[in-house]
Amino acid sequence: MMAQATDVGSVGPLYRYPVKSMMGDELDSAMGGSKGMVGDRLFALADPPTGKIASAKNPSKWPNLFSFHATHTALWKARAFLPFALLCRTVSL
C-alpha cells in the first residue's frame, strides 16, 4: 500500500547565480545535486593582486557587483554581462 502524499509547502521564484555575487536568472525548473543546484555559483571574480574572491559582502571594495549579470550557458560555462563591457566569457574548465 502506498503512503498518501501530503503537501508541506511550495517553492516561490527559483534563481540560479552562476557567478558569485552577480545577478542571475529566474528559472522554471532546475536540477539539484548533493552540492546544491546545478550551475549555481560555479564561478567567481578574482582580484589577481590580492588573490581574493570578489564578494558583495565587501561593498566598499566591490560596490557594483550587483550591477553585473551572469547566465549559465552549459555545464561548466557561464556568460557574464558587465556594465562597462559588451560580453565577458568564462574559461571552460
Q: What is the mean pLDDT of each run of 10 residues along the chain (93 residues)?
A: 81 90 90 88 85 87 86 79 60 44
Q: Are 59 and 67 in contact (CB under 8 A)?
A: no
Distance CA 46, CA 28 (A): 30
pLDDT at position 15: 93
pLDDT at residue 14, as a whole number: 92
Whole-number Å distance between alpha carbons of 88 and 64: 16
Say whether 13 sits in a helix, a strand or coil. coil
pLDDT at 88: 54
- Domain residue ranges of the chain, discontinuous segments joined by +: 14-89
pLDDT at 68: 87
Q: Is 88 exposed, middle or buried (0-12, 13-18, 19+ CB in 10 A)?
A: middle
Task: Read off the C-alpha cell for 81.
Answer: 554581462
Nearest to 38 by CA among 16, 8, 54, 11: 16
